[in-house]
C-alpha cells in the first residue's frame, strides 16, 4: 500500500485513547480561552472566552464527560500549570474572587451536557436558552463567592452585569461552532 493510501484510510484508535484525547484537548481549549482575557476597571473578574468553551464542551462531550473535563482543567491549575486567566494557577487563585466561577463551570458543563443529551441542542431556540441557562449557573456560583470579597450589595454590578451582553454574543457564536464540535467528538 502506498503512503497516500495509508493517509486516506481512517485510523482506528482504542476508545480509551480517544476519550483521553478528548479530555486533554478540552482542557487545552479551556486554557487557551482563559488567556484571551480583558481586565476591566469595574470588576475583579476578567472577560474571557472560558464560559463559551465550558458550555460548548458540555454540549459536545455530554454531562459526565464535560463536567469531568472541567474538573480536570481545574486540577491542572491547582497543580501549578498556568491555565487560569492571565496564566495564573494554584490554590490561592481558586480561593480568590474568581474561584466561584471556576466551580460554577463544572455545574454548568454538566447541566448543558445533560440537556444536550436530551436533544435540547438540536433546536436553535432551545440551544440558545440552554447556553444562557449555563451562563446563569456560572454567574450564580461566581457571584456567591465574589460577594465574600466585594459585599453582596455590589455583586451583581461587579460579577454579572458587565458580562451579560458579551455572553449573549458568545452564545450566538456558539450556535455556529457546535456542529463542528459534534463532528470532532463523533455526535450526530
Per-residue burial over 80-112, b if 16 or more Cβ lie within 10 Å, else e, is: eeebbbeebbeeebbebbbbbbbbbbbbbbbbb
Q: What is the pLDDT of residue 80?
A: 95
* SS3 of 119-135: CHHHCHHHHHHHHHHHH
Query: pLDDT tens-digit profile of 14-66?
Result: 788 888 999 999 999 999 999 998 887 888 888 899 999 999 999 999 999 99
Q: Which three cell numbers stand for residue 13?
A: 484508535
pTM: 0.86
Query: pLDDT tens-digit profile of 134-151?
Result: 999 999 999 999 999 999
Of 188, 76, 181, the residue nearest 131 (C-alpha): 181
Contact 175, 128 (CB under 8 A): yes
Q: What is the pLDDT of residue 37?
A: 86
Integer Cα distance of 77 and 56 in angstroms: 20
* In the block, residue with C-alpha cell 456542529: 179
- Identify the band that residue 158 occupies on the pLDDT scale cut at 50, 70 and 90: very high
Amino acid at each position: 500500500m502506498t503512503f497516500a493510501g495509508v493517509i486516506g484510510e481512517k485510523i482506528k484508535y482504542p476508545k480509551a485513547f480517544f476519550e483521553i484525547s478528548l479530555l486533554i484537548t478540552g482542557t487545552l481549549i479551556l486554557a487557551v480561552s482563559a488567556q484571551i482575557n480583558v481586565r476591566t476597571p469595574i470588576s475583579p473578574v476578567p472577560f474571557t472566552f472560558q464560559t463559551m468553551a465550558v458550555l460548548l464542551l458540555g454540549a459536545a462531550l455530554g454531562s459526565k464527560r464535560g463536567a469531568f473535563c472541567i474538573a480536570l482543567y481545574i486540577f491542572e491549575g491547582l497543580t501549578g500549570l498556568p491555565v487560569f486567566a492571565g496564566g495564573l494557577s494554584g490554590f490561592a487563585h481558586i480561593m480568590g474572587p474568581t474561584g466561584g466561577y471556576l466551580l460554577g463551570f463544572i455545574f454548568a458543563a454538566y447541566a448543558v451536557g445533560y440537556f444536550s443529551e436530551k436533544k435540547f441542542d438540536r433546536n436553535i431556540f432551545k440551544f440558545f436558552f440552554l447556553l444562557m441557562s449555563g451562563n446563569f449557573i456560572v454567574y450564580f456560583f461566581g457571584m456567591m463567592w465574589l460577594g465574600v470579597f466585594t459585599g453582596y450589595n455590589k455583586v451583581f454590578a461587579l460579577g454579572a452585569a458587565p458580562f451579560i451582553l458579551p455572553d449573549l454574543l458568545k452564545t450566538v457564536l456558539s450556535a455556529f461552532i457546535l456542529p463542528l464540535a459534534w463532528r470532532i467528538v463523533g455526535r450526530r
